[in-house]
Structure 1
Amino acid sequence: MSRDQSTYRPETLTASRPLLWIAALLSVVMMAPVAWLVGLSIKNNRELMLGTESVFRLPYTLVNYVNILHSSQAFGWFFNSMIVAIGQTIGVLVLSSLAGYAFARLEFPLRRTIFVIVLFGLAVPEQAVIIARHQMFNWFGLHNSHLGLMLPGMSSAFGVFLMTQFFRAIPKEIDEAALLDNASQWRIFWKIMLPLTLPAQATLGIFTFLHAWNDYWWPLISATKKEMYTLTIGIASSQTNFAQSEGLGFLSAQAVFASLPVLIVYIFFQRHIVTAVSGGAVK
């Protein structure tokens, strides 16, 4: 019997069966709120006004999603969220990649000191600098603008740290071979190093997109005009002011509608997350 065959024994599978049942139970518990939200979104609002237990019985309808298609506000908020999330993600990837390469591969004065200062950003909560940030953006007239919503999230200490560690994991022999071929530092970064960090960039991009898409704190402060609301602020304002008139089903459909981009992004890039976590970026 080979080593591989002896590894998978019946008693091993029997011992792990309780863990599988526990994992399945936890998955059901975690998915229950999502299933409840989807169920509310496909129910008639008049039925839900009588009682939310009607979600467990027929009939179901897609009228709430049809109403979203006729709602210019929801699409405007969706458009704002998409611009902010994509712009912030691109900004973080560009700045973090450049900074990470500089800290990991280049020699310049006070490199270690500056890197430590950047890491201090991980320990400073956003709420601690919110007043100063609000005043700065007010002076420059950046409130109620897409740029004003994007800029704070582009300074990612975590992104710089992640990319620095990833660049450090790449063997230096690659740089030396490229230098022997008279390649410039920019060409080494752009043509050689950057493609090797795609798993880390995909992971950082997903985390940044999720954070920007779900961000509530800064858009609540910076976006005071309704046309500049992101989806998180728009849906929250609907729940506060129009829950009775719009209906619980319509609000649930808006929440499902707001979650779709996050789900799509994760489905397309999940394999890069697995590669980055397993450390398989550099062979």
Structure 2
Amino acid sequence: MTPVASKPIGDAGALALLVVLGFIMLSPLMWTLLLSLKSNGDLLHSTANAFHGPYTLENYQAIVRNSGVFRWLMNSVIVSGLTTIGVLILSSLAGYGFARLDFPGRDKLFLFVLFGLAIPEQAVIITRHQLFTALHLHNSYPGLILPGLAAPFGVFLMTQYFRAIPKELDEAAMLDNASRLKVFWKVLLPLTIPAQATLGIFTFLASWNDYWWPLISATRPDMFTLTVGLSASQINFAQTSGLGYLMTQAVFAAVPILIVYIIFQKYIVRAVSGAAIR
């Protein structure tokens, strides 16, 4: 009877621990939300005022009136969206080529691509900056998007996924006079949707949260992404409308990521847990 009785107690203890840890992780987000709902005048006296009313939406109204924030948001959506689409297209094509085509130097080239996983971005930042300066790509969408298209992990992921698909499917389709392009587009690509969803989610999140390269490449305020724009506002805190307005910007920036997570939650959880996606 003792083991049976101790099991509910253990489960309750684990649940209580998870609740406490969850509260600790969510507390900074709740603190940011509360500060965003307070007037900047109240927060000048004390941030402890966030725990009681009155609350106001004046900071969110100021966001709506500030065209700069919407410009930064649009830039982030364009850069992250096009980067994700480009990575999915290139990684799928490269993965199919490495997994299904036999050409000279294939294995060596694949190994060369994998070397990209071991090279940090900071190691090539000076060369990349000089290259983009020579091509006059700074302060442009191509300048912000092109570096993100180099995705060795995406190529590796799609290659391994294509290799796991039986080659009998290709042979059966070719017996029906299907071309390689048709086999790739109609037969194999639909089977890789779970892997593409995982790759697309992580690519979008990485591009959306990227700060290093946009800070270097985008020097004009109209080309700032949301991360760089918000950082510039926080650095020039004395020239902003106040702490509540800064917290409102942070909430505003987190909403698109929250929407993406809600929509693709299943794939994110499976990818993080390492479970097979089928």
TM-score category of the 2 structures, normalised to the smaller one = over 0.9
Give the C-alpha shift of residue 108 in structure 1. Answer: 1.0
Match in the other structure for 1:205: 200
Identical aligned residues as a percent: 58
Distance in 2 between residues matched to 1:267 and 1:10, nearest whole Å: 37
Output the TM-score relative to the length of structure 1: 0.92
| 5+ long unaligned stretches in structure 1 | 1-8
- Residue in structure 2 matched with residue 60 of structure 1 by the alignment: 55
What's the TM-score, normalizing by structure 2?
0.94
The worse-fitting range, judged by mean Cα deviation, of 85-94 and 265-274 is: 265-274
What is the deviation of 1:267? 1.0
Secondary structure at the aligned position of 1:122 is classed as helix
After the TM superposition, which segments of 4 or more aligned residues of structure 1 sit over 6 Å from their partners? none
Structure 2 counterpart SS, 1:121: helix
Provide the aligned C-alpha RMSD in A.
Answer: 1.5
Contact 2:233 2:240 in 1 (8 A): no
2:100 corresponds to: 105
- Residue in 2 that maps onto 1:94: 89
Q: Which residue of 2 aligns with 1:75?
A: 70
Count residues in correspondence.
273
> What is the match of residue 84 of structure 1?
79
Deviations 1:235-261 (A, max 9, x none): 111111144541111111111111111
Instruction: Give 2:262's match in structure 1, choosing from 239, 264, 267.
Output: 267
Please give the per-residue CA displacement for 1:100-119, whole angstroms capped at 9, x wherever unaligned: 11111111111111111111
Q: Does 2:214 correspond to 1:216?
A: no
Cα offsets for 1:173-217 (capped at 9, x unmatched): 212211222211111111111111111111111111111111100
Q: Name the residue aligned to 2:276.
A: 279
Question: How far, CA to CA, are the matches of 1:268 and 1:140 in structure 2?
Answer: 38
1:280 Cα deviation after fit: 3.6
* TM superposition shift of 1:274: 4.6
Structure 1 CA distance for aligned equivalents of residues 147 and 162 of structure 2 = 25
| Partner Cα separation in structure 2 for residue 26 and residue 44 of structure 1 | 30
Could you list the per-position Cα deviations for residues 78-135 of structure 1 after superposition, in whole angstroms to 9, with x for gaps in the alignment?
1111110001111110001111111111111111111111111111000000000000
What is the deviation of 1:171? 1.8
Separation (CA, whole Å) in 2 of partners of 1:103 and 1:65: 50
Q: Is the 8 A contact 1:199 1:275 kept in 2?
A: no
SS at match of 2:118: coil
> Could you tell me how far 1:273 is from its partner in structure 2?
3.5
Worse-superposed segment, 268-277 or 15-24: 268-277
Distance in 2, Cα, partners of 1:221 & 1:273: 30
Q: Which residues in structure 2 correspond to 1:63-212 (within 5 Å)?
A: 63-212=58-207
C-alpha distance after superposition, 1:20-71 (max 9, x if no partner): 2222221111111111111111111011111111110111111111110000
Question: What is residue 3 of structure 1 aligned with on the other side?
Answer: none
CA contact (8 A) 1:45 1:248 kept: yes
